Amino acid sequence: MCCSSKTPPPAVVDIDDEMQELIDAVMNCGPEEDADELETEQLLTTHSSVGTKYLSNPDPTPEQMQWASGAERAAGTMADAMAPCVADLRRALAVFAGTGSPEEAALSRHAAWCDARRREAAEVASLARRLAESHLRCLAARGVDRVVVDPEAAALTAAMREAMESTPVNTWIMMTPEEVARRAFAVVLRATQLTYKLRWGADGLEGKDGEEAVVRALREREAAAEEELDRVSAVFDATIRPYEAWYAQVNKEAPVKKRPSPETEEEEDLEGPRQRRRMFPAGEDSPGTEY
């Protein structure tokens, strides 16, 4: 029996319009697509390195948790999106398998590249998730008040009361209603995000072996965070409106000179020394809840 040395013909597979469009796109890749691929590779490599570094910290910082939240979502989305792309490329590759054609080479390279990036994206998402779980265990181990109480809430309330109780009116410690609203919004937003994070964390660890104590602690802190959010909201409702009315009355009787913004303070300092008192910094600079 004779054996033919010829390459066997490719399997007969119908090429529909969608597959033909994919093949054409692969065959027409140019420098711009190559640059995009390189950028994606570098991005995933960077995030993988960052995630590995952050995991070495037993008590992740708020900045690291911000990275974890965004990275898990973005990398997970990328991995999910690339999975069907890999499948489509492999189906197209089957049409040209064994032919040694340019199409086979191009489709093989793209399928391998997409699959490698899919695995890297999934690994970045896994790193981010592990970092988040490490952070959740830290939250579960901390005292309830340390987790849920935001010092900025008390600071803002005290600042409003001090301004209203000052005699004569001390314009240097007065905040505009806009500044009060901005700082109050930031406090409520952090409290809302904390409540969601604790619930999300407990839901994610629910049912995992060995995580029962962590889940119970997270549920306890979630309930405390919701109570604290309600309490802070009620305090703000009871304080901000009187402050706004007081501010309007004071400004009506004698226009209030606004405190200088950080951008203009340096210019004003050139005019000579001036005593000024700032009881509390603006929202971004204020201490916040420990995440």
Residues 6+ apart with CB under 8 A from 224: 144, 147, 148
Query: Which pTM value belongs to this model?
Result: 0.65
pLDDT tens for 272-288 read: 444 333 322 333 333 34
Say which DSSP state 280 is in: S
Please determine, for residue 9, whether its predicted confidence score (pLDDT) is greater than 60: no
Which amino acid type is present at position 32? E
- Residue 128 binned pLDDT confidence (cut-offs 50, 70, 90): very high
Lowest mean pLDDT among 33-42, 227-236, 275-284: 275-284
User: For the segment 72-94, what is each residue's pLDDT rounded down to a tens digit?
Assistant: 999 999 999 999 999 999 999 99
Residue 259 is classified by DSSP as P
In angstroms, rounded to a whole number, what is the distance separating the alpha carbons of residues 279 and 156?
10
SS3 for 33? helix
CB of 10 closer than 8 Å to CB of 99: yes
**What are the backbone dihedrals phi and psi of residue 193, each rounded to the nearest 5 degrees, phi first?**
-65, -35
pLDDT at residue 232 in the model: 96
pLDDT band (50, 70, 90) for residue 222: very high
